Chains A and B, each alone.
Chain A
Amino acid sequence: MSAKLILRDKEYEVRPGMTLLDALKKNGIVPESVIATRNGEMITDDEVLRTGDVVKLIAVISGGSV
């Protein structure tokens, strides 16, 4: 089972054990353009993603493509 990033209507499967920063970069998401939340709480980009994690990304530039 993998971890998952959700940004607007897109989902990205990521390998557990990666940091959030690496996961964002690997999927072409600009870290400066999003805030990440897990279980409703904001997390920093050094957070190591665990199996089953669902991280919701909130675009900070409304209307932007991040």
Chain B
Amino acid sequence: MKCRRCENKASVHMRQHKLALCKEHYLEWIPEQTERFIKKYEMFTRHERILVAVSGGKDSLSLWDILVRLGYQVDGLYLGLGIDGGIGYSDESRRLTEKFANANNLKLHIVDIEKEYGQPIPVLSQISHRGYGKPCAVCGLAKRHEMNRIARDLGYDVLATGHNLDDEAAVLFGNTLSWSGDYLLRQGPVLAGAQGLARKVKPLCRFYEREMTAYAIARDIEYIYEECPFADGSQSIFYKESLNLLETARPGVKLTFYLNFLEAKKSGNLFVDRNAGQALLHSCPKCGQPTSAPDLCSFCRMIGKASTARTPDLQL
């Protein structure tokens, strides 16, 4: 398979885009597309100060790398959660984040939850009895709170996270399965700021997780390969794996799922009462049956088209 841009051997094939690129052009394409998404969803400008939440994983470190290369004013925020899980998870993720910041001469803010609030996340979870035996709910709550606090206190205009399309599609899938209307209406590439609440943006929301892994590898970004020990067997991973089975059989299905959702939400068609549409129906001038089309109904248009087209030689 050859690179679409230079005819050299391709390194990455993105079936959903019918696009293959060599390493060099892939490293150009990802930032170009990121810039396109930042502008399309009006995330931020080069005059604004951005705080990117970094975990030491491939997505957040790649996002930081991309935004710096694109010339944005961006600093990092690392939250020390105090998770060990037998693999020194938090220590290793902090080491890799600091290594990346130092190697690229970037400013990194570090907040240690235990130092700030007396206990690490797993203990806070046990004490507060939240989350059905897993610290994920407390962890999410603490991260949202602290990210917003630091962004607000240090005067950043916007908070950026490394959520990719697989993250977003998995959340969307879960909320669709349970028809969680409130959550569905709140999901999007930009969550507007409010009094005391920083604007949140997801510049990688249209890249597949596979694409971000390929970017980190191509860019030689050293990231923490192991997921949080508490994520093992999680619902979000199950949804991601399920969506990847669909994607393998139908390339592009994850992208369409997410983009059509955004489109429906933007157009206001999400959760519109279909009965309200009855008033818009009128009689087809040809057959008299109700239709929402402005003139002839779809059936009459189809028959009209068929009757004027040349009849193919069919053996029935």
Contact = CB atoms under 8 A, between A and B. Distances in A.
Contact of A30 (B1, B12, B241): B241
Interface stretch (B115-123, B223-231, B307-315): B223-231
Contacts of B237: 61, 63-64
Interface of A: 30-35, 37, 41-46, 58-66
A37 B240 CA distance: 22
Contacts of B101: none
A64 to B, nearest CB: 5
Given A35-B210, A41-B11, A62 B241 contact: no
B214 A61 contact: no
Contact of A44 (B10, B210, B232, B244): B10
Given A32-B247, A60-B213, 17 more contacts: A30-B248, A32-B208, A32-B210, A33-B210, A33-B241, A34-B210, A35-B213, A42-B23, A44-B1, A44-B20, A58-B213, A60-B212, A61-B241, A62-B225, A63-B227, A63-B234, A65-B241
B248 A62 contact: no
A37 B209 CA distance: 17
B98 interface: no
Contacts of A42: 11-12, 23, 214, 217-218
Contacts of B20: 44
Contacts of A37: 217
Interface in B186-232: 208-210, 212-214, 217-218, 224-228, 231-232
Given A42-B23, A44-B1, A61 B240 contact: yes
Nearest to B164: A60
Contacts of A59: 225
Contact of B217 (A31, A33, A35): A35
B244 A63 contact: no
A39 to B, nearest CB: 12
Interface of B: 1, 10-13, 20, 23, 57-58, 166, 208-210, 212-214, 217-218, 224-228, 231-232, 234, 237, 240-241, 244-245, 247-248
Contacts of B10: 44
Contacts of B226: 62-63
A33 B239 CA distance: 13
Given A42-B218, A44-B11, A64 B241 contact: yes
Contacts of A31: 248
Contact of A62 (B23, B57, B214, B218): B57
Nearest to A37: B217
B210 A60 contact: yes
A33 B248 CA distance: 9
Contacts of B12: 42, 44
B113 to A, nearest CB: 21
A22 to B, nearest CB: 13
B166 A61 contact: yes
Contacts of A46: 1, 13
The 10 A-B residue pairs with the shortest CB-CB distance in the complex, in nearest-first order? A63-B227, A62-B227, A32-B244, A42-B11, A60-B213, A44-B13, A60-B210, A44-B1, A32-B247, A60-B209
A32 B227 contact: no
A32 B248 contact: yes
B166 to A, nearest CB: 7
Nearest to B10: A44
